[in-house]
A = this chain, B = another copy of it.
Amino acid sequence: MLIRVEPNADVPVFQQIVDQVKAAIARGACRPGDVIPSVRQMAADSLVNPNTVARSYRELEREGVVVTRRGFGVIVAPNATERCRQDRRTAIRDGIAELVRDALDAGLTPCDVRNALEEALGGGTGTGEAE
């Protein structure tokens, strides 16, 4: 469970942590029942204040993604994997829909959008292609 935080980003640090934990669960790096790093541990690893990590964990618990056992630690909730995947999928779809709306609103054609997408798909990952 490696968390990398950018302190000066426009998205709050506590939200970055929430997102990355959920992403780790979504991609299977953490599975239900696994123990995730303690508040103090992650705070030390990520160079983030423990209070900020605690807030992230509180939010994750509120969303039902993790379960915290006092004096023991924080564990991934039973059905967290599917829940996180669903969340990510919904978020991505919403994001795409909003982006498309904005793009068409700004006068771009659907073809422009497709081209921009293909460019991003090709350059962002390079699944085999040269960079």
Q: Of B7, B12, B125, which contacts A101 at CB under 8 A?
A: B125
Majority SS of interface residues in chain A? Answer: helix
Q: Write out the residue numbers on chain B whose beta carbons fall within 8 Å of the beta carbon of A103.
A: 88, 92
Q: Does A114 make an interface contact (CB < 8 A)?
A: yes
Counting CB contacts under 8 A, is A40 at the interface? Answer: no
Tally of contact residues, A, Cβ under 8 A: 45
> What 19 additional pairs, Cβ within 8 angstroms, besides A88-B106, A96-B120?
A23-B102, A26-B106, A27-B107, A62-B62, A85-B106, A85-B107, A89-B108, A91-B102, A95-B99, A96-B99, A97-B124, A99-B99, A99-B120, A100-B125, A101-B124, A101-B125, A110-B127, A113-B117, A113-B121
